[in-house]
Amino acid sequence: SKTSKTSKSSKKSRSRQCPLKPIPILEDGFDDEPDWSAIIEIAFPPWDTPENGCPRLDALGGNLVSGFEDFPEAVANKFNSCYYTKAFAGLDPSKGGYPTPIDTHYPYEFAAPFLKQPGDGSVHHCNTDDNTVDIGSCPKLGNTCGKDCAKITDDYGIGHIPPFVPLAAVRNAYSSCGAKNICSDWFNFNTNGCNIKKSVLDDLVYDQFGNGDEIRFPGPVIIDGEPSSTYFRLEYGGESPACDGGNCRGPHYCTEDVADEGNIWGDFCPYVHTGPNSGKYRHPHIALAALELWIANQCMPENCPAQWLDSPNGQGYATNGETATSITWSKMDDEEDQMSQPAVPYMWPTDGSGIYPGFDDLYPSDQCTKLAPGQYVTEIAGLGPSCTA
């Protein structure tokens, strides 16, 4: 089966000698599980982590645990070591975020444009005059075949798929030496820079997850005690006891009152922020960008530096909020707390009076769109309510 718990390709990862370096392996992980933290930190070097570890709460919506109150200090040209929210994605790294999938040129994002609409720049294409719509209910491109499935169409090819799918496909193909010459087969700097060619990604994804005119895949989780074929440890989704009430949304840890509200997009909730894994969440698109650059640096070291900010994709990154690919945020319960939950009742957008970005932070004054470099799907989403009134 294409979506079995383990991947045939991963079984071969140590059976053949490759001309390039082997992917770093997590010492205490599953068989041949990559050390994604180490790979990410090569491309996105982190701030120093506090001596005791990342700050954490005693419960969702609770208080800081004694001994874990210190947050890391921002360092120029480095990235947050204790990560709780994607609110600052696409903004200057000093604010605590990482590049968005648009910034890393993730080809299966199919993001909505920036029109001051709910979900601007996200994979959800909202076309409504209701500011309180559940953004998560707005459609994703190509996701018409059910959960964990994307259609392949003439217009767009493979529709939106989560980054952990191509991440698994690239990892497996690289580790099994599936390409005759990875450097020449996977890369063309003149057309794709330090990113793997999309045609190659399409083939790798379809070879491992294709089924007719669909891509089908399991979640990046443990199934019956074994890692799925897309397993990604750094998701840290659904940990007990924090999520025992069915209140979490994937890797987003919502309190029960937020979950019960019914119209709050789970992405506005923070990532894991209780227990020993607090602050350790990392995006799979960041892992994919780091893996691509790690391979490209071996193949084209003169063109593809080891660190993402020095690479072609990093040039001009986050120089201006008005051209950033950051999503307009919702009103939060505590506008100054990076572990905060969304406000109940739900309000979107935030007014930007705290640390969370609103229209004034992300759009030119009195304009309903902006020039944010990237590729967008423009025929589904509509202008936001403030622009149609």
pLDDT digits (tens, 9 = 90+) for 222-246: 999 999 999 999 999 999 999 999 9
Reported confidence tier of residue 2, pLDDT bands at 50, 70, 90: very low
- Residue 198 is predicted with a pLDDT of 97
- Helix 198-209 to helix 164-175 angle, to the nearest 10 degrees? 90
pLDDT tens for residues 289-332?
999 999 999 999 999 999 999 999 999 999 999 999 999 999 99
Single pTM value for the model: 0.94
Overall average pLDDT of the 334-343 stretch:
98
Please state, for a pLDDT cut of 90, what percent of the chain lies above it. 92
- Residue 8 is predicted with a pLDDT of 39
Strand partners, 226: 223
- Residue 19 is predicted with a pLDDT of 76
pLDDT tens for residues 7-59?
434 444 444 456 799 999 999 999 999 999 999 999 999 999 999 999 999 99
- Helix 36-43 to helix 284-299 angle, to the nearest 10 degrees? 70
pLDDT at 374 exceeding the cut of 50:
yes
Q: Which of 294, 281, 233, 279 shows the shortest CA–CA distance to 43?
A: 294
Q: Find the helix or strand (DSSP H, E) in which 36 lies.
A: helix 36-43
Strand partners, 222: 227
Distance in angstroms (rounded) separating the CA atoms of residues 16 and 179: 12
pLDDT tens for residues 88-126?
999 999 999 999 999 999 999 999 999 999 999 999 999
- Residue 209 is predicted with a pLDDT of 98
- Residue 176 is predicted with a pLDDT of 86
Distance in angstroms (rounded) separating the CA atoms of residues 21 and 42: 14
CB atoms under 10 Å from CB of 2, counted, come to 16
pLDDT tens for residues 64-92?
999 999 999 999 999 999 999 999 999 99
Contact between 126 and 117 (Cβ < 8 Å): yes
Average pLDDT, rounded, for the chain = 94
In sequence order, what are the residues at sequence separation of 6 or more whose Cβ sits closer than 8 angstroms to the Cβ of residue 37? 234, 280, 282
pLDDT tens for residues 146-155?
889 999 999 9
Contact between 280 and 54 (Cβ < 8 Å): yes
Contact between 289 and 248 (Cβ < 8 Å): no
Reported confidence tier of residue 179, pLDDT bands at 50, 70, 90: low
- Residue 208 is predicted with a pLDDT of 97
pLDDT tens for residues 245-290?
999 999 999 999 999 999 999 999 999 999 999 999 999 999 999 9
- Residue 293 is predicted with a pLDDT of 98
Please state, in angstroms and as integers, the Cα–Cα distance from residue 135 to each residue in 104, 112, 374, following that order: 23, 12, 21
